[in-house]
Amino acid sequence: MLKATRRCELCARATPQLTIHHLIPRTRHKNRKNKRTFSRRDVRERTILLCAPCHKNLHAVLSNKELERDFNTLDALRNHPKINKFTRWITGKPADMHVVVHKNSKG
């Protein structure tokens, strides 16, 4: 059995390993609009801890540009229909369960 120490901020599953998600993606830090909208401290420090499946799903569903502009808060992410659907599905699943996340087409 895995020793679970912390909880994912999206699905609330206890898991031994979490990943850091930058609410303002690092690839967008040098963007001019980003520099006008957010303080440098905000850009560096606005992070949340996510389990690997939630983190992979988030990046499969949303582009970095969408994350920067419209989904740069935990509440905004929780309210996104596809993120919310995945989060509801994975909640209650074992932390060591292998999950394959497929990138959604942006059609």
What is the pLDDT averaged over residues 33-60?
Answer: 80
If you ran DSSP here, which 8-state letter would residue 101 be given?
-
Helix H or strand E encompassing 20:
strand 19-22
User: pTM value?
Assistant: 0.79
Pairing of strands 47-50, 6-7: unpaired
What is the pLDDT averaged over residues 58-81?
Answer: 91
Distances (CA, A) of 23 to 53, 55, 93, 98: 17, 11, 25, 25
Confidence at residue 102, expressed as pLDDT on a 0 to 100 scale:
76
Helices and strands in the chain, H and E counts:
6, 4
In this prediction, what percent of the chain has a pLDDT beyond 70? 75
